[in-house]
Amino acid sequence: LHLHTMIWIKGALTPQEIRDRLTSKDSDFQKSLIDYLEGAHRGSYLTGANEEVEDRFMEAKQHRAKSDDPTLNVPRKPPRECPDHLEPESTPGCAKCSRLVAWKRHFSSTVDEFVHRFNKHNCDRGHCRSPRYPECKARFPRDVMEKTIVDEESGWLKMKHGEPMVNTYNEALTYMMMSNTDVTSLLSGTALKAVIAYTTDYITKPGLRTHTMMEIIKSVFTR
């Protein structure tokens, strides 16, 4: 079971307008756009590299009860921000700040666990290759980019990406959905047409019969 969603932002620039602003060498616009896009989705973990996250996940899995699995529990809501301090990390003596700092650590480690479990591609485990098509159909591994690059001549944008086998995601969405997500910014007419065609193809598929749907749900919970 999965969901396809497109978010249209009211008043947003068109792909052509964005390209024109990027090629005009408007440095303030470039910085604002990069900050926005990097804040909306990412292709790396929050707390370290893949090996570190994997080690922490395996250790946590060994020492916690099955009922403590974060995928089996409602996401923990954040505490209220402290009205007296703007930087909670700098005031360890404040109880409200300490609760917020602890929740942020929980948020980051939980998101990293979900990304490692659900957003990390494995060509050996999936069906992305075949003798006829040896290249991964999901286009993994992705190019590792230490920073976002803007080509001011063409308006081409290559996003920062830290992990070659991790799909792009949004931290808050991953924390709430507790599953695989693919968050992409559509910055070209070609990408827009492709995703609309892809989504339309799914919408027009015949729906599953009720008994088939219930069997799928049962298999997910008994897996």
CA dist., res. 26 & res. 13, Å (int) = 15
CA dist., res. 197 & res. 177, Å (int) = 25
Residue 12: closest CA among 192, 198, 171: 192
CB 180 within 8 Å of CB 121? no
What are the average pLDDT values for consecutive 10-residue runs of the chain, which has 223 residues? 77 89 92 95 96 94 90 94 93 94 96 96 83 88 94 90 95 94 82 77 71 78 70
**How high is the pLDDT of residue 201?**
76
Place of tokens 């997500």: 181
CB 4 within 8 Å of CB 199? yes
User: CB under 8 Å to 119, separation ≥6 — which residues?
Assistant: 166, 167, 169, 174, 180, 181
Residue 158: phi, psi to the nearest 5? -115, 115
CA dist., res. 67 & res. 177, Å (int) = 18
Global confidence as pTM: 0.83
**How high is the pLDDT of residue 127?**
79
**How high is the pLDDT of residue 208?**
67
Residue 111: closest CA among 75, 151, 78: 75
CB 183 within 8 Å of CB 4? no
CB atoms within 10 A of CB 113: 23
